Amino acid sequence: MTADLLFQVQQLHARVAHLLDEGRFDEWPECFSEDGVYVVQSRENHARGLPLALIHLEGRAMLKDRVFGATDTIYHHPYSQRHLIGTPLLLGHDGSTLHVDTPYLVLRTPRDRLPEVLSVGRYVDRLVHDGSRWRIGSRHCLYDNDLVPNSLIYPI
Amino acid sequence: MTADLLFQVQQLHARVAHLLDEGRFDEWPECFSEDGVYVVQSRENHARGLPLALIHLEGRAMLKDRVFGATDTIYHHPYSQRHLIGTPLLLGHDGSTLHVDTPYLVLRTPRDRLPEVLSVGRYVDRLVHDGSRWRIGSRHCLYDNDLVPNSLIYPI
Amino acid sequence: MTADLLFQVQQLHARVAHLLDEGRFDEWPECFSEDGVYVVQSRENHARGLPLALIHLEGRAMLKDRVFGATDTIYHHPYSQRHLIGTPLLLGHDGSTLHVDTPYLVLRTPRDRLPEVLSVGRYVDRLVHDGSRWRIGSRHCLYDNDLVPNSLIYPI
């Protein structure tokens, strides 16, 4: 494990967050592998091995469908998101697969209101290298706050 | 783009934040180039191409004047700041100029009160290398929260 | 100072935070040197050179005792912690000793409640290399918020 590897992971994380925070949702599924998995689950359910998750998407088609729902069909009060992402803790590496664990904080700012914590927790990521770049093979967003202010509309 | 470049940018960002958070405001303008630009603008005005900005300073002389105002002439309730700065997303590099986009969160703690979010958004930076070190050629602090608790006294 | 050094420091910081946030408190003292020091003190007392600190532990035995107290003897409402740690500003390096200054934010999430800021400030660390890895020789957590919501039970 080297500084170069951390650099590559951090740039991937930064890009994913940037796309979500700037509302470029259409580009978000491309950060995942074709069969990429995206799960949002409470810390407690994950710890107990319970399957219930707030969001569970498998494959880019489902990711795209979610984005379509969030941007075109769900009625909601407008808000913007901002991700602060911690240093990825590098846990395992076997060439084309990398396991990292990363704290995150997502702030939500509704129009004309003060910012609030939307979600805080950690990303448990399996990253895969396809020969040219790293993509997310699976991401489990394990949130600490069971109580979510309002709803999660956009991915976190 | 390499890990070394990210290292240099992160050290610059960390140093700028450290000077502001520790109240060493006199040293802040030196982090900018002689003709450095510092703009604090709402995300919405920036997105619409509107010119109105909360703060717009051009050149070190104006930066120094702002610091003088904040520390010596503006009457305000004492508070401390703390910056949490995300990973810079490296967008472009042509030798002596570097474009990076970086999420930030600034917390404000008034004396005997709980901390609160003062500003959250992203820095859009153009960094310039003068032969010995990187400095800020221009920084646009684009904040998500139109509603600011109280006022911005110190730079963010 | 190089990107490699920053990488090593960030992995240490990430690991320490991970152990605390995942409740693996027993492993936390091992991140310190045998005579490691852990102090939690208000920014103001530190600035004035006053000795009073919220927590002051010297040596792994005291660190272990604190962990025992927090997990086995203190009665408190359950909550989880999450650390967001900024970029370490590298201040000095003389081979086996490294001085770094790092912003931190710790969020607390009580069960069925919204997350709140538990502590925000900076870590002033002296790190020591024992031949195989970096450990914390001393950590001063200097918090900005004199007012702490509820109490500090776990280390921050």
Q: What is the pLDDT of residue C1?
A: 60
C156 touches chain A (CB under 8 A): no
Given a cut of 80, is residue B81 above it in pLDDT?
yes
Q: What is the pLDDT of residue C28?
A: 98
- Tell which of B8, B91, B120 to mutate to test the A interface (max A CBs under 10 Å): B120
The residue written with tokens 């610091």 in the block is: B67
Residue in C102, C149, C100 with CA at minimum distance from that of residue C121: C102
Q: What is the pLDDT of residue A77?
A: 83
Helix (H, G, I), strand (E, B) or coil at B66: helix
Given a cut of 80, is residue B149 above it in pLDDT?
no
Residues of chain B in contact with residue A86, where contact means CB-CB under 8 angstroms, are none
C122 touches chain A (CB under 8 A): no
- Please state, in angstroms and rounded to a whole number, the distance separating the CA atoms of residues B41 and B55: 7
Given a cut of 80, is residue C150 above it in pLDDT?
no
**Backbone torsions φ then ψ of B95, nearest 5 degrees:** 100, -85
A85 touches chain B (CB under 8 A): yes
Query: What is the mean pLDDT of the segment spanning A118-137?
Result: 96
Q: How far is B105 from chain C (nearest CA, A)?
A: 10
Query: What is the mean pLDDT of the segment spanning A37-59?
Result: 95
Per-residue buried b or exposed e for C11-47, using 16+ beta carbons within 10 Å of the residue's own CB: bbbbbbbbbbbeeebeebbebbbeebbbbbbbbeebe
Q: Which token pair is C39? A: 């102090």
Q: Which residue of C has its CA nearest to B10?
A: C87
Enumerate neighbours of A (3 or more CB pairs within 8 A). B, C
pLDDT cut 70: percent of chain A above it: 99
Residues of chain A in contact with residue C112, where contact means CB-CB under 8 angstroms, are 146-147
A27 touches chain B (CB under 8 A): no
Evaluate whether B89 touches B101 at the Cβ level (below 8 Å): yes
Residue A147: pLDDT band with limits 50, 70, 90: confident
Q: What is the pLDDT of residue C118?
A: 96
Query: What is the mean pLDDT of the segment spanning A107-131?
Result: 95
Q: Comparing B65-69, B74-78, C10-14, C152-156, which segment has the lowest mean pLDDT?
A: B74-78
- For the residues of B69-83, what is the DSSP string, one character each? IIIII-----EEEEE
A45 touches chain B (CB under 8 A): no
- Please state, in angstroms and rounded to a whole number, the distance separating the CA atoms of residues A122 and B111: 31
B124 touches chain A (CB under 8 A): no
Smallest Cβ–Cβ distance between A114 and the set B89, B103, B147 belongs to B147
Q: What is the pLDDT of residue B1?
A: 60
pLDDT, tens only, B17-44 = 999 999 999 999 999 999 999 999 999 9
Q: What is the pLDDT of residue A1?
A: 60
pLDDT cut 90: percent of chain C above it: 83
Residues of chain A in contact with residue B91, where contact means CB-CB under 8 angstroms, are none
Identify the sign of the CA torsion B98, B99, B103, B108.
Answer: positive
| Other C-beta atoms lying within 10 Å of the C-beta of residue A131 | 5
A86 touches chain C (CB under 8 A): yes
Given a cut of 80, is residue A149 above it in pLDDT?
no
- Please state, in angstroms and rounded to a whole number, the distance separating the CA atoms of residues B88 and C86: 12
Given a cut of 90, is residue B77 above it in pLDDT?
no
What is the complex's ipTM, to 2 decimals?
0.94
pLDDT, tens only, C42-90 = 999 999 999 999 999 999 999 999 999 988 887 788 899 999 999 999 9
Residue in A144, B40, B141, B77 with CA at minimum distance from that of residue C23: A144
Residues of chain A in contact with residue C11, where contact means CB-CB under 8 angstroms, are 1, 6, 87, 89-90
| Other C-beta atoms lying within 10 Å of the C-beta of residue A78 | 8
Evaluate whether B4 touches A8 at the Cβ level (below 8 Å): no
Q: Which residue of B has its CA nearest to C148?
A: B114
Query: What is the mean pLDDT of the segment spanning C125-151?
Result: 93
Query: What is the mean pLDDT of the segment spanning A136-153?
Result: 91
Residues of chain B in contact with residue A21, where contact means CB-CB under 8 angstroms, are 103, 122
Residues of chain B in contact with residue C144, where contact means CB-CB under 8 angstroms, are 80, 82, 107, 109, 115
